[in-house]
Structure 1
Amino acid sequence: MDNTEKPGESNRGRKGINPLEQVRSNPLFSSLSQEAWEGLLPHMATLRLSPGQAVFYQGDPFRGFFVLLRGSVKLFRLAVDGQEKVIELIRSGQTFAEAILFSRGALYPVSAEATEESRLLHIAAAPYRKILEDSPELCLNLLSGMSQKLHQLVLEIDRLTLQHARERLLSYLLQEAGSQGLGENIVHLRMTRKILASRLSVQPETLSRLFKMLKQEGLVEESGKTLRIVDMETMRRALE
């Protein structure tokens, strides 16, 4: 990995927040004893990435997992024909690749790439796995996080296999409106239209037409990257 540094080499983030303090409160580290935490520090390194720069590629040997400190990272797979399928968009504070900790000799099953200026923390697999062996609480925290991600993936599979393109978009917008903390009918598009189209398994031009139709029908209003859902009840009924 390029552009790496030890966490202590740059202690403050953009807003003066110590990245280690940010990571320490994450459920994957919060139950660690101070001794275990300090023992893990030498096995961490921060990584600065520019837009389009890879974190790892599908098929690379698994070396560790990551905490995204700032920016955004897309996880994706490439089809045989070269078409990209976005699996997930990782946001600040989220972890990724930790599920592979339990697989010896594993390979990364997806590729990861920064979509904007990003800063990550890499945690080496072997030292963290050793700590897991002595910490039942940490294991439970890890399993809880994996269970939540599995639930989200099941919902994603349902959306892709049981819904048409329009329904996928409506489902996505309703889900985001309830989770961003911007108001129950406000959605900030946190990814580019191209990435969103891949996430919903539609062509970009199809997504553009769908957004245009929703605006023409008076279901949403758009201002830059922010959408206001005008008629949530009609959107919900469309998914019944």
Structure 2
Amino acid sequence: MGNTAQILQNVFCFKDKNQEDISRLLENLLYRVKDYGKNELIAAQGESAEQLGIVLQGQVEVQKIYPNGKNMTIARIDEGQPFGEAVLFSREPLYPATILASIPSKVLYIGKREMLKLFASDPDILLSYMENMSDRLIMLNRKIEILSLGSLRRQIAFELLKMADKQQTDTVTLPYSKRVWAEHLNVTRPSLSREIGSMRDQGIISFSGNRITLVDRRAVEEILD
């Protein structure tokens, strides 16, 4: 249980707890741990999602399956990260996407009723859960705002200008990898790289590693006009 408690310290609802506190909470909870092989299905899109999943080991992928049979990886969930928290207390708790194990993985599950017991026993955990849901809603609204811009170039320009204003410099440091950025924009990484490369070739931006410079800020702003 010690190793499990250590991993759970990375989960948003246990972030302020020490290992002893988490171990004590687990002793009073009904939960289960399940192992998955590489590429094994964890949950299919549309299945019941009445439990919180937490990756104890490995990595899982969240994939959106489209009617034409194509799929897109929209998120990767690493050790110490949860899934299913956004729909757990929905009136229709169904997985909105398919979840697969990218590599051999171990997942801990806590059911809805057990989570309610946990909230009742420790209001700080409930507060952390609510804060996480609020943050996710803000991120969703931001994503809708970005996607409503239309073209990928407009989305990139919007993001870069927003980062430049926040960091107060025209040489911005990406807060995530290009892979994560591409997933955030719902495009493939090659598509994102091609568009960034095109903007560089046109003298609009330059980049090195995770740093991007707005060489011609006015040109970036005009993309949004």
TM-score by length of 2: 0.71
- Equivalent runs, 1:157-172 vs 2, <5 Å: 157-171=144-158
Cα distance in 2, alignment partners of residues 100 and 159 from structure 1: 23
Q: Contact 1:62–1:106 (CA<8 Å) still a contact in 2?
A: yes
Q: Is 2:98 the counterpart of 1:111?
A: yes
The residue aligned with 2:211 is 228
Q: Deviations over 1:204-226 (max 9, x none)?
A: 7644531320332352335xxx4
**Native 8 Å contact 2:5 2:22 kept in 1:** no
Task: Check conservation: 2:33, 2:108, Cα contact below 8 A.
Answer: yes
Change beyond 3 A, Cα 1:97–1:171: farther
CA-to-aligned-CA distance 1:39-95 (integer Å, 9 cap, x gap): 12x514154553x44321111222411223455433232222233344444344432
Report the equivalent of 2:28. 39
SS at match of 2:198: helix
Aligned length: 214
Corresponding letter in the other structure for 2:27: E
Show the counterpart of 2:200.
215
The change in CA–CA distance for 1:173 and 1:207 in structure 2 (over 3 A counts) is same
Q: 1:185 aligns with which of 165, 170, 173?
A: 173
Structure 2 unaligned runs (5+)? none
Q: Give the aligned partner of residue 57 of structure 1.
A: 44
Return the match for 2:117 from 114, 123, 130.
Answer: 130
Instruction: Give 2:140's aligned residue.
Output: 153
| Counterparts of residues 66-77 of structure 1 (less than 5 Å) | 66-69=53-56, 72-77=59-64
Note the C-alpha offset of 1:153: 0.8
CA distance in 1 between counterparts of 2:35 and 2:178 reads 22
The residue type paired with residue 5 of structure 2 is L
Kindly tell me: are residues 72 and 189 of structure 1, through their superposed partners in 2, closer, same or farther at Cα, counting changes over 3 Å?
Answer: farther
Q: Percent identity?
A: 24
Give the SS at the match of 1:58.
coil
Distance 1:133 1:232 in 2: 54
CA distance in 2, matches of 1:185, 1:203: 21
Q: Which amino acid aligns with 2:31?
A: H
- 2:21 is aligned with 1:21: no
Deviation, 1:188, is 5.7
> Deviation of residue 233 (structure 1)?
7.2
Query: Quick check: 26-35 or 135-144, which moved more?
Result: 26-35
SS at 2:179 equivalent: coil
The RMSD of aligned alpha carbons is 3.9
Offset of residue 176 of structure 1:
8.2
Distance 1:230 1:62, change over 3 A: same
TM-score when normalising by structure 1: 0.67
Whether 1:96 and 2:83 are equivalent positions in the alignment is yes
Closer, same or farther: CA 167–134 of 1 in aligned 2, 3 Å: same
Give the superposition deviation at 1:158. 1.1
Could you tell me whether the CA contact under 8 Å between 1:187 and 1:228 is conserved in 2? Answer: no
Alignment gaps of 5+ in structure 1: 1-7, 12-17
**Preserved contact between residue 220 and residue 227 of structure 1 (Cα < 8 Å):** no
Q: Secondary structure at the match of 2:63?
A: strand
